Amino acid sequence: MALEHVKIFNTLSGQKEDLLKPRGRALKLFVCGPTVYGPPHIGNARTFLIFDMFVKFLRSIDYEINYLQNITDIDDKIINRAKEENVGWKDISGKYELIYLKNMQVLGIDSVNIYAKATEYIPQIVEQVKTLIKKERAYLIEGDGYYFDLATFPEYGKLSHRTIEQAEDAVSRIDASDKKRNKGDFALWKLSKSGEPGWKTELGFGRPGWHIEDTSITEYFFGPQYDLHGGAQDLKFPHHEAEIAQQESASGKRPFVKQWMHAGFLTVDGNKMSKSLNNFVSVDDFLEKYPAELLRTIVFMHHYRAPMDYSDALVQTAQKNLNDIAIFLAKLKKTRGKISEIPSGDFLNSFLESLSDDFNTPQALASIFEFINKLQPNLWNLSYKAGHRAAELIEGSLKTVGILLPKQIISLKARFLARKREYYRKNKQFIQSDALRKKLDELGYIIEDTPKGPLLFKPVYATRTIQNPIE
């Protein structure tokens, strides 16, 4: 299926505009990856799920995407964590990189083509810093490192429309020095003190600044200019501004990136979920309690640019949404009526149009429920084929963004109890049939009497209500 226009909100232009579709080559997308110094939390995961869903959607409508993500595996946060735990910095970065990649796998985030670790691109980083020095955009603070001179880049701030830090901006302590020429100057290459990790290079024994790794990696894979850059909104300033200043100064070509997408935060009681506030739920903690597709659904329920406040009630709403859809799908697969036509065109159009309109996922979800509501009155009159076709459409639309509903597995015991209950019910022995319904409920099953007989269903997404043992 090919859609003519996918619109996105481009932070650089401040407007909704057509997503550029390069002819004859893949769209080059870079999303800032994690700093691997601790387990990822579900706030980090929100950002990566958003871009995973967006890429899956684009690929489903025939976009070719080359999706690159970096992994920051050298950083002061990593060095400090290693000191705290009295281990080597590589022990920390190696451990958390593995956890990150495993978490991504379990969450079904498989759309990234290339993961690039900063430490594997030290020669490219050194080259870019040397170019900036040659072009007089960078200067040395003796015994400290090379810094970018912001006075040479008057366009600084053109993405975020500011040049001053705000609360919730992601910052790096590596950029601090009282000898800087301008307050906002940031480190390109930090000279390492004894005991600190570093690389012996023409710039001296040191390590890269935070922003330079991204532009060195993207220049290596994509060249000095590319199509689309993503990340959460805490990276707009100073991280993404710094990337623009570095790459446009190094190459003299602009724009560095044509279109930028920024995702909203996952919050807790209105505050950004973060390691420093200690208000986070790690991906592992979440996955211990709930299946992966639940987090994907929670993310899908919110517009990617809007904040999303995490709570138990939110998880329950997502569980209910998924269960309602799954129960309806189970019913659709039981229809044996005569109606062979379903309003499928309207549904597919509105689903895809919603996703094409600045990736409006809540509207896309609403279109699924609208379709269900349209089918509902005539549900049991649908033919076997029509029922299955409608179910395939709903399953297919969710699959577009990677939401896969698990197959219903009903145990033999449950089937037996359901048959027994039906026997009692038909004989009007309601006390016995109610007792069996209760038993089925205790086993985690819902039984619903439909015109086509009783439908046994296991709501896989619900955490079972714990019965008071005294009752």
- Which residues are near ligand AMP by CB under 6 A? 32, 34-35, 43-44, 46-47, 170, 231-232, 234-235, 265-266, 272-274
Count of other CB atoms within 10 angstroms of residue 23: 5
Using CB atoms within 10 Å of the CB of residue 236, give its burial: 0 to 12 exposed, 13 to 18 middle, 19+ buried: buried
Q: Are 212 and 131 in contact (CB under 8 A)?
A: no
The least CB distance from residue 234 to ligand AMP, in Å, is 5
Which residues on adjacent β-strands are paired with residue 454?
A: 449
Three-class SS of 199-214? ECCCCCCEEECHHHHH
The least CB distance from residue 84 to ligand AMP, in Å, is 17
The least CB distance from residue 464 to ligand AMP, in Å, is 30
Cα torsion 54, 59, 62, 64: sign: positive
Nearest residue (CB) to ligand AMP, 39 versus 459: 39
Which residues on adjacent β-strands are paired with residue 469?
A: none
Nearest residue (CB) to ligand AMP, 34 versus 402: 34
The least CB distance from residue 232 to ligand AMP, in Å, is 3
Nearest residue (CB) to ligand AMP, 93 versus 397: 93
The least CB distance from residue 283 to ligand AMP, in Å, is 11
Nearest residue (CB) to ligand AMP, 232 versus 414: 232
Distance CA 113, CA 217 (A): 14
The least CB distance from residue 431 to ligand AMP, in Å, is 53
Angle (CA) 153-157-163 rounded to 5° is 100
Nearest residue (CB) to ligand AMP, 42 versus 355: 42
Which tokens belong to 125? 């980083």
Helix (H) or strand (E) holding 218: helix 210-222
Nearest residue (CB) to ligand AMP, 35 versus 433: 35
Nearest residue (CB) to ligand AMP, 157 versus 231: 231
The least CB distance from residue 309 to ligand AMP, in Å, is 11
Q: Are 166 and 205 in contact (CB under 8 A)?
A: no
Nearest CA to 197 among 227, 174, 166? 174
Q: Are 106 and 60 in contact (CB under 8 A)?
A: no
Q: Are 318 and 294 in contact (CB under 8 A)?
A: yes
Which residues on adjacent β-strands are paired with residue 260?
A: 229
Nearest residue (CB) to ligand AMP, 295 versus 391: 295
Residue in the shown chain whose Cβ atom is closest to ligand AMP: 43
Using CB atoms within 10 Å of the CB of residue 133, give its burial: 0 to 12 exposed, 13 to 18 middle, 19+ buried: middle
The least CB distance from residue 210 to ligand AMP, in Å, is 9
Report H helices in 227-360: 241-251, 283-289, 292-300, 312-332, 344-356
The least CB distance from residue 32 to ligand AMP, in Å, is 5
Nearest residue (CB) to ligand AMP, 100 versus 148: 100
